Amino acid sequence: MSNANASLDSFKARKSLAVDGQSYDYFSLTAVEHLGEVARLPFSLKVLLENLLRFEDGDTVTQDDIRALVDWLKTKRSDREIQYRPARVLMQDFTGVPAVVDLAAMRDAMAKAGGDPERINPLSAVDLVIDHSVMVDAFASPQAFAENVAIEMERNQERYQFLRWGQQAFNNFRVVPPGTGICHQVNLEYLGKAVWSQDGLAYPDTLVGTDSHTTMINGLGVLGWGVGGIEAEAAMLGQPISMLIPEVIGFRLTGKLKEGTTATDLVLTVTQMLRSKGVVGKFVEFYGPGLDDLPLADRATIANMAPEYGATCGFFPIDGETLRYMELSGREPQTIKLVEAYAKQNGFWRDSGAPEPLFTDSLELDLGTVVPSLAGPKRPQDRVALPELGQTIDGVLELAGADKEKRVPVAGEAFQLCHGDVVIAAITSCTNTSNPSVMMAAGLVAQKAVAKGLKRKPWVKSSLAPGSKVVTDYLAKAGLQDSLDALGFNLVGYGCTTCIGNSGPLPDAIGKAVEEGDLTVSSVLSGNRNFEGRVHPLVKANWLASPPLVVAFALAGTTRIDLQTEPLGEDMDGNPVFLKDIWPSSEEIQAVVRLVDEGMFQKEYAEVFEGDADWQAIKVSPGKTYNWSGDSTYVQNPPYFEHITEPVKPLEDIEGARILALFGDSITTDHISPAGNIKADSPAGRYLQEHGVAPKDFNSYGSRRGNHQVMMRGTFANIRIKNQMLDGVEGGYTRHIPSGEQLAIYDAAMRYQQEGTPLVVIAGKEYGTGSSRDWAAKGTTLQGIKAVVAQSFERIHRSNLVGMGVLPVQFPEGVSKESLNLTGDEKISLLGLGSLKPRASLKLVIERPDGARQEQEVLARVDTNTELEYLKSGGILHHVLRTMIG
C-alpha cells in the first residue's frame, strides 16, 4: 500500500502544525492554490484532494490526478479515474462474517500456493460491530432483552466462534461484541474522529463500510460510504478504491424546523427531493445558513439515508456544531483541539461568513416548510404527509381489488383484524435511535399517553431496539423508559432488528389471521428501509416514520386514519384523545435532551470491546489458518480460489446463453439476496433440513452468509420477487428452457450448469438498489450467470458484480427488454469481450426460438481500467491474491 510517508510530494505540500504543545505534519491544500481556486472546492472534494497529495507515488497517484481534481472547478464534473485510500474500514456481522470467511479462504489458498498465509492481513484499521443478529423473539416484557440476547448467543455460536478466531488471527481487526450497539451509531458516538492522526501525521478521517448506511458518519464531517464486502476486503488488503471524480450536488438549507416536526420528517423530505433530482453515483453536500441551527444528530439522520436518496454520500462539513457534539460524546480533549486547529488551518472549516463552495448543480429547502410525514408502503422515497396516509392506504387497497370492509376473527381473541392494521410498531435502526430529540419525543408521547390512560392495541407487536446503550441511560434519566414499557416498548436488544428484517415472528393467531384473510397489514418503523418482503414476510405495507409517530400508530392500531383529525383512542373518562393532546412541544423536548451528558458516553464506551460473560466464554482454536468444520451450516470454505494458481484465461465472448430470469424495475439487493426469513420449502430450507437443521433453527439468510451453500440457494429467493418469464408467480422461480419446466431459480441454474449452458439475467431500471450486499453478486456468480443486462444499475451492486467477475451491461437510452420483445425463450450472445475497454460498446445478439436474429448495441459497465483488470482476473480478490502469489 502506498504510504503517506513515501509521498513524492511534488507540490511541496507537507507542512507542520502545533496543537496544544504537540506537533503534527499535514498535507496543505494551499500548496496547490496556484492550480485553481481550491478554497471554493466542495469540502467533500477537498478530502479527496488531500488524499491524493498524501499518497502521490507517481504510479497509482500522479501529479496529473492532483491537477485533474483542481480542474474539476472548470466544468464541475470529470471523467478522470482516481485511486482513493480511506483510513479505515467499518463492518457489521452480516457482511463481516463473509468478509472474514474470504480472508480465511485466501489464507488457505496462499498456504496451498506455498506462500506465507500471514501476508493476508488487514493493512488499515478494521472495526466489526455485531449488530445484525439479534431478533425480536420476545417483546413487550421486562425480560425481552435478556431472552433475545440468550437466543442470539445460542443461535449464532458458530458464527461468533469464527469471529473470535478472526479477532486473534488478524492484525488491525477489532470486534465490538453483540448487545452493544449498531455499527453506524457506535461509529458516530465513538469510533469516528473527524481528523485522524498516526505517526505524527494529521489527515481527514475517512472510511468505507460494508453497509450502505456507513454514510451516517458524514454528519460528523467524516467522508465515508458503503461498499460491497468484496471492495472492503480489497481496501483492507491495501488495494486503493478506484473511482471517478464525482459530480457534487449542493443542497442548500435555510430556516428552521417548525413546531411539531422532527428530523425524520426532514430526512423523508430530503430523500424525496433528491430521488426526483437523480443523484445516483454523485456526492451530495449540505450548505447554507440552515446548518447554523441544525444539530449534529439531525445531520447524521440525513447523512444516514444517502442510499435511500441514491447518493454516494451526503456530506456535512466540520464546524462549531461538530466540536460541540464531539465534546458531548466524550471524545478526548486533544482530539477535539486537533480537529479544530487542523480544519481551520487546512480549509476544512465551515464558516457561514465565507463564500459558498461551487457545485455541479444545487437545490434548496426551507426547513420551515417541512411537515409531519411517513414514507411507504414499499419505497423510502415515497413520502406521504401524515393527514394523507389513510387515503393512500385506501388507494393501495382499491388498486389491489381488496374488500376494504373485510374483518378477520383472531383465534382466542376478542378483536378482529382489518386491512391497514398495524401489526408491527418498532422503534429501531440507527437512523433515528442515534437522535436524542426524536427518542425523547417518543418517550414524552408515551408518558402523556399513559397519563391519559391510552394503551397499545393488542394486535401490535411493539419493540424498542436502540443503536447504543447511551439511549437507555438518557431515557432512564429523563424518567421516560417506564412509560415506554407501559405501552409495550420494552428494550428488546441493541441492534438493527426490524429494520434489517429481524422482526421475529408475529404471534401465531395474528399471523394465521393475516394469511387466511390475505390481509394487507402494516408495519410502522423508525428505520430507513421498507422494501417488499424485508420487514416481515406477511406484512405487505411498511411505513418509515419518526419514533414518536411509531408510538402514536401503536396506540391507533391502524394506518387507515388521519391522525390530525381522528382520535387515537379514549381517556379514562371516555373522552377522545387526539395526537395533538399528547404531542410534546419543542421546549419540552429540548428540556429533556439537555439531560444527555458526556458521562453517559464515557461510561458506555469505556469497555466497548469487552462483551459480556457469554462472549468472553466463547472458546476459539488458535492458529493463523482456520480449522474448517465440514459439519458447520454457518461457516464453509468457499470455492472462489480453487484454480488460483492456474494462469488467467483471456476474456471471451458469451455465446448462446440462456436467460435465467427477466426482471422489471427496482429489483433490490433484498430481492436478489434476501437477508430475512428462510422458507422451509425453498432450496436453502431443503439444504438446511438435509443437514439436520429444524425450521425453527433456520435463523436468517443474513446470519448464514458465511455458508455459500445456503447463500447460492437463496439467490433470487425473495418471496416477493417477480420473474416475468412466469405469469403472476411470486418468489424465486423460472422456466427452464427448452424443457419449459417451472423450477426454483437455483435448481434451474444448477441444471444449466450441468448442461454447460452459460446464463444471463435481464432487468429494467435501478437494478441492485438497496444495501451494499456482496452476496447479491457472489450468489449471481455461483449460479453461473456471466452477465446482467439492465437499463440502469445502482452504484454499489454494479461494482460488486465486477468484483465477482460478472459483467454488468447497460441498454442504451430508450432500449429495454420490452422494446426488444424479450420473453425469456431466446438465446443471448454478447460479442466484443476479447478487446474490452472501459465503457466500451458490445454487440448483444438475440436468437429467437423461430431462428430469427436481432442485434443491439449495448454498453459494458466496466467503468475504469482497474475494474477491467479485476474482471479479467475473475474478480477483485482473485486479482489481489494472484498479485501476492506472483
- Looking at the fold, whether 378 and 234 belong to one and the same domain comes out as no
Backbone angles phi, psi at 477, to 5 degrees: -65, -35
Residues 741 and 822 in one domain: yes
**Is 98 a domain residue?**
yes
- With a cut of 80, say whether residue 5 has pLDDT above it: no
Residue 680, SS3? coil
Report helix, strand or coil for 468.
strand
Domain span holding position 699 = 654-885
How far apart (Å, rounded) are the C-alpha atoms in residues 378 and 241? 32
Chain Cα centroid distance, residue 311: 12
Are 306 and 449 part of one and the same domain?
A: no
Q: Minimal CA–CA distance to 679: which of 716, 712, 719?
A: 719
In this structure, is residue 29 part of a structural domain?
no
Q: What is the mean pLDDT of residues 377-389?
A: 95
Contact 723/729 with Cβ under 8 angstroms?
yes
For residues 385 and 359, state if they share a domain.
Answer: no
Q: Which of 158-162, 258-262, 328-332, 776-780 has the lowest mean pLDDT?
A: 158-162
Q: Are residues 781 and 881 in the same domain?
A: yes
Residue at a domain's end among 542, 572, 605: 605
Structural domains of the chain, count: 4
Question: Is 277 part of any domain?
Answer: yes
Cell of 303: 447523512
Please tell me whether the peptide bond between 377 and the residue prior to it is cis, using omega within 30 degrees of 0. yes
**pLDDT by residue (tens digit) across 643-653?**
898 899 999 99
Q: Is 547 inside a domain boundary? A: yes
Centre a 10 Å sphere on the Cβ of residue 681 and count the other Cβ atoms it contains: 10
CA separation for the pair 544, 373 (Å, rounded)? 9
Burial class (CB in 10 A: 0-12, 13-18, 19+), 690: exposed
CATH of the domain at 516: 3.30.499.10
Q: Using CA atoms, how far apart are residues 490 and 463, in angstroms rounded to an integer?
A: 6
What's the pLDDT score for residue 770? 78
Q: pLDDT (tens digit, 9 = 90+) per residue, 802-814?
A: 999 999 999 999 9
Same structural domain, 677 and 536: no
Distance CA 814, CA 828 (A): 20
Per-residue pLDDT band for 29 (boundaries 50, 70, 90) equals very high
Assess if residue 705 is contained within a domain: yes
CA 571, CA 488: separation in Å to the nearest integer?
A: 18
Residue 423: strand, helix, or coil: strand
Q: List b or e across 397-414, with b for residues whose CB sees 16 or more CB atoms inside 10 angstroms.
A: beeeebeeeeebebeeee
Taking only the tens place, the pLDDT of each residue in 591-614 is 999 999 999 999 999 999 988 899
Q: What is the pLDDT of residues 756-795, one digit of tens each?
A: 999 999 999 999 987 768 899 999 999 999 999 999 998 8
Q: Are residues 589 and 551 in the same domain?
A: yes
Q: Which three cell numbers stand for residue 862?
A: 466496466
Q: What is the mean pLDDT of the chain?
A: 95
Cβ–Cβ < 8 Å for 673, 840: no
Same domain (yes/no): 335, 241: yes
Whether residue 20 is contained in a domain is answered as no
Would you say residue 635 lies in a domain?
no
- Which pLDDT belongs to residue 180? 93
Cα angle for residues 473, 303, 465 (degrees, 5° grid): 35
Closest listed residue to residue 174, CA positions, set 235, 89, 233: 89
**Rounded to an integer, what distance in angstroms lies between the CA atom of residue 550 and that of residue 465?**
13
Query: If you search the block for the grid coordinates 493476508, which residue do you land on?
Result: 120
Q: Are residues 516 and 431 part of one domain?
A: yes
Q: What is the pLDDT of residue 1?
A: 38
Contact of 191 with 176, CB cutoff 8 Å: no
CB 254 within 8 A of CB 364: yes
Q: Are residues 196 and 254 in the same domain?
A: yes
**Shared-domain flag, residues 2 and 108:** no
Could you give the CA distance from residue 705 to residue 710 in angstroms, rounded to a whole number? 8
Q: At what angle do helices 598-605 and 469-477 cross, to 10 degrees?
A: 140
618: Cβ contacts below 8 Å, ≥ 6 apart = 157, 160, 161, 164
